[in-house]
Structure 1
């Protein structure tokens, strides 16, 4: 069945044949708010969302006064993850159209009914031809489901006039919607708690909602912008929150690991790095002890009235030019936020093995990373922050924000891991050009943040390992579905336990993967990064302690 949202001031007959879950609203702005609020859910939408648009203009606000063509564009660009089917009210006036609509919804449901089938459909790795331009697929199913191919096509092939129209629509949304008010919990005490949690290295991402995580992103990016204090690149608080909501909704929140929570975790890790490295000033809520107990903060109800991060020191005016400046630091933080946007929940190796359309498009090299950077730049930033992209981060290297964001995101390809470790090992301040140093530092920091799970205190680290295991299991299930045509049912997960003992009880073999990953990838990277950036020594120390814990379990 479908979820139906009707933008009309009169009831429409016969649509109860399609669904009993029907919302009538004669305020288009209210409908947009409702759709944005769905971003707090942490699962894929497994049904069609049918939007019925009125044939007449209702209400006097700019969003209400948009023609249906522009309403359609807005809905598709912002909310395609909800499997939108958009029709006009007049299309339902003929009885036979109800039957066609029911058939269309049934057809779409075949491709989104369960988690494994959804991943198969997004990636285009199955036997269905939803992305085949030569197939006889009616109603453009790839558009309604938002496959990777369709997303790329929309991002790359939109004209300048469409881009300009989307910017105008975005401005209308910002003017009419207060995004902070859309947060499920926006009282002062709660937001103050989030300020303090952002300051912990043992950041409890799994205990926070998507709304909480959205506000954590706001705190970090706003803090970096405040230090720059440059009107040429600034966003208003509401513009920033609006962009964050779009980023959040472009992640696949049903992914066990590569979801918005992971993006915020990587951003928060990068934020801690640049604070400790002195690229940004420290703030009063910052915990200098990387093992400070975050649960005390999480469960406490006693907080002040500070709902933003408060700078504690000022940066030295005589900064080493070989370090990241404030603009380059902002570029790194943005790259961290968008580094996995649109991730389908499978690996590059899987995409290449099954010759998915996206792997062919990017010539089987850094497939997902190329996809992420394209979507982040050409869908999100081009609409929400267009004046930022081509600005130079400094006058000497002439690196633009766009250059540095793309370079950093591409560096997260684990296939390039050992190449970066080799660059780090042979890096010399004296022999390297400044532009190469800036690119390498940004790449290394985001790489460290991307696999920082093993450097978090053990309880948090074990939670991340558990959800990563779930995602690997899904890839195996999808392999079986493709090769053996096995039947799949929808997967629903219990929340990851908060206590380490419970995590280990439900995942008794967790240590095996951790020992392999630390030995193969993490240990060498974090030990070598200390040679270049000694302020990050705490990461190597925690990796060593965690490894000793897992080795003891391996010997039990």
Structure 2
């Protein structure tokens, strides 16, 4: 059994011990309460040590999937987790997120806020098609604009004070954006192109501003996170790591089958930065650049989907410590940064349906292109996804249920608690967690319910307008979006009535 599964079982056991201790606290025997308290502290310590080990970008992770479709279950298990492949070394001790708050963080946050709210923006000066206010919207659709990197990097870097802080020359930044676009367009992939890269950057930006995390991370961490978001799939060929390894691709041989694509994205990008015309970090202090480069590499490597199970389990444990007000140090900033980038990378299903369905169509076509190649290059001629037989509906349901929802569930809890911590620190007022909502919560429910409605009542033949390249029947799907909205509305009304009944 892998370390991450042991961690999950131990966390559940620890929660159960705490619940029993709490129930016995009033009327139970004092000696038993004391013993349970000691057991709880000991389990906390063991739990913390396991998280400490897992914090070193481990690849030891497993995820158990329950699905009626064996093909989809196999894909989810193989893509978003991995068997142990190398020995792990103990990571440096986790630091509390609060430890990274610097004395000047509040002043820096105010400065960033002033810059975001300033009337005179780069969008006007450089005649950009959008302004920062549009990029602040969770519902923003990157696919509606040409050359998305040009405006998204300029505006978002400026909003977070990165351009002025690191003395980035605007012409150099423009050169970098063009080169970045060329790299993303190198293989003309349906999904992993410049639209996806810019979308992940904009989503990461939203995750920062929709919570108080801007007040938690240091400036170098924010710069590394946003830069990593922009470059995380640079020169992506539209094929996954498994395919590259199985076909003995040159990249797999170069990187010894370990996070092949992620290593290539990071390495190729830093090679690009050797070109003075594109090196936007040329004015960064040498020691600071060393820290920056190390963090960027760590973040990009963490986007390997095989790390999903380990990363989510670590964040779940962090939330457990926060929720129980444990004195055990919580997750370090790097783990939270990795989670934010991972969440942004798989965030399509959390966006409004009209945005999400376009992304879903593109990623499925990319899967099917790989499936076409697998029929040619695999000896068993069994593709992961066959464009003629794959159940797209069940694939989306499985992906949202087992991957997207758990990720955003734990992220929501952590973001809300840290936001409340910061709000209470500044206002010294008690704030209720239930009063906070995050922009993705409704759309994630709606998108999942839509696929469930299609699964129950839909005609899969009518859903697909064209199989090669894949084109979905948007008008037909919209009917089920409306049905899903009705279901959610009734469910919300039922929950409201139930809560009123329970409170009265």
TM-score by length of 2: 0.55
* Aligned mates of 2:394, 2:127 — CA distance in 1: 38
1:315-369 Cα offsets, whole Å, 9 max, x none, are: xxxx5xxx21222111100000010001111000101111112112212111111
* Aligned mates of 1:478, 1:205 — CA distance in 2: 29
Equivalent in 372, 375, 388 of residue 268 of structure 2: 375
* Aligned mates of 1:187, 1:271 — CA distance in 2: 20
* Aligned mates of 2:167, 2:274 — CA distance in 1: 13
Change (3 A) 1:381 1:422: farther
| 1:431 and 2:323 aligned | no
Larger displacement relative to structure 2 (370-379 or 411-420): 370-379
* 3-state SS of 1:341 partner: coil
Aligned to 2:136: 199
Change (3 A) 1:379 1:551: same
* Aligned mates of 2:439, 2:139 — CA distance in 1: 12
* Aligned mates of 1:367, 1:444 — CA distance in 2: 20
Aligned to 1:450: 345
* Aligned mates of 2:355, 2:395 — CA distance in 1: 16
* Aligned mates of 1:446, 1:440 — CA distance in 2: 10
What displacement does 1:196 show?
Answer: 4.2
| 1:234 and 2:182 aligned | no
Q: Verify the 8 A CA contact 1:345 1:471 in the aligned structure 2.
A: yes
| Runs of 5+ consecutive residues of structure 1 not aligned to the other structure | 1-185, 281-318, 394-398, 487-506
Aligned to 1:551: 452
| 1:223 and 2:159 aligned | yes
* Aligned mates of 2:197, 2:274 — CA distance in 1: 16
* Aligned mates of 2:246, 2:368 — CA distance in 1: 17
* Aligned mates of 2:274, 2:217 — CA distance in 1: 21
Aligned to 2:410: 528
Change (3 A) 1:370 1:469: same
Aligned to 2:189: 255
Q: Trace 1:175-214 onto structure 2 (pairs within 5 A).
A: 191=128, 193-210=130-147, 212-214=148-150
Q: Trace 1:149-548 onto structure 2 (pairs within 5 A).
A: 191=128, 193-210=130-147, 212-225=148-161, 229-230=164-165, 233-252=166-185, 254-280=188-214, 319=215, 323-380=216-273, 383=276, 384=279, 385-388=281-284, 390-392=286-288, 400-427=291-318, 428=321, 430-432=327-329, 437-483=332-378, 510-534=392-416, 537-548=438-449
Change (3 A) 1:390 1:548: farther
Change (3 A) 1:188 1:239: closer
1:381-439 Cα offsets, whole Å, 9 max, x none, are: 6741244484438xxxxx81111111111111111100101111112465347xx6111
Q: Verify the 8 A CA contact 2:232 2:262 in the aligned structure 1.
A: yes
1:471-521 Cα offsets, whole Å, 9 max, x none, are: 0111012223334899xxxxxxxxxxxxxxxxxxxx996533210101121
Tell me: higher relative CO, structure 1 or 2? Use CA pairs within 8 A at least 6 residues apart.
2
* 3-state SS of 2:332 partner: helix
1:12-47 Cα offsets, whole Å, 9 max, x none, are: xxxxxxxxxxxxxxxxxxxxxxxxxxxxxxxxxxxx
| Runs of 5+ consecutive residues of structure 2 not aligned to the other structure | 1-122, 382-388, 420-436, 458-504
* 3-state SS of 1:355 partner: coil
What displacement does 1:223 show?
Answer: 2.1
What displacement does 1:200 show?
Answer: 2.1
* Aligned mates of 2:356, 2:363 — CA distance in 1: 11
* Aligned mates of 1:518, 1:391 — CA distance in 2: 41
1:109-160 Cα offsets, whole Å, 9 max, x none, are: xxxxxxxxxxxxxxxxxxxxxxxxxxxxxxxxxxxxxxxxxxxxxxxxxxxx
